[in-house]
Amino acid sequence: MARQRNWWVAGGLLLAVAGVVLFVRGPEPLRAEAPAVEKPFGEKAAVAVFMKSQATHVEYLDKASVQKMGDRTFITGRRLTGPAWVWLPVSDVAFVEEFGSAEELGKVYRVPAPPAKP
């Protein structure tokens, strides 16, 4: 009889602990799968996009915007160091600095001039 009572007590304690864990948890952390906020950059804005990689990789973009392709979100813009338009996956971006213009960005970072046209 004492053994049966111990099982009931152990079962009750297990249910109590499970209830506390399930109902008294903190808020869920923000996950990477959360939808990206699509906010356009300023009309004349230029951005410095710092990528997540082993080497420090920075892209300097003009006419930047946030766009979706399928289920992925990208920062797009015209590369200030050349004539190409680039699409950078937001999942690979560490952080972004937005400037009012390419001239303002150039005052902070030494952006190489685009190659001369032949």
For domain 46-108, the CATH class is mainly beta
Joined together, the tokens standing for residue 43 give: 């009309």
Domain boundaries, the chain: 46-108
Q: Are 47 and 61 in contact (CB under 8 A)?
A: yes
The Cα 32–Cα 117 span in angstroms is 42
Q: What would the pLDDT profile of 8-47 be if each residue is shown by its tens digit?
A: 666 665 555 555 544 555 555 555 555 555 667 888 889 9
**Coil, helix or strand for 54?**
coil
pLDDT of 95: 92
Q: How confident is the model at residue 7 (pLDDT cuts 50, 70, 90)?
A: low
Nearest alpha-carbon partner for 64 in 32, 107, 96, 109: 96
Q: Is the pLDDT of residue 93 over 70?
A: yes
Nearest alpha-carbon partner for 55 in 94, 111, 98: 94
pLDDT of 59: 92
pLDDT of 72: 92
pLDDT of 48: 93
* Neighbouring-strand partners of residue 59: 49
**Coil, helix or strand for 98?**
strand
0.85 exceeded by pTM: no
Q: Are strands 46-51 and 57-69 parallel, antiparallel or unpaired?
A: antiparallel
Q: What would the pLDDT profile of 41-77 be if each residue is shown by its tens digit?
A: 888 889 999 999 876 689 999 999 999 999 999 999 9
The Cα 96–Cα 75 span in angstroms is 10
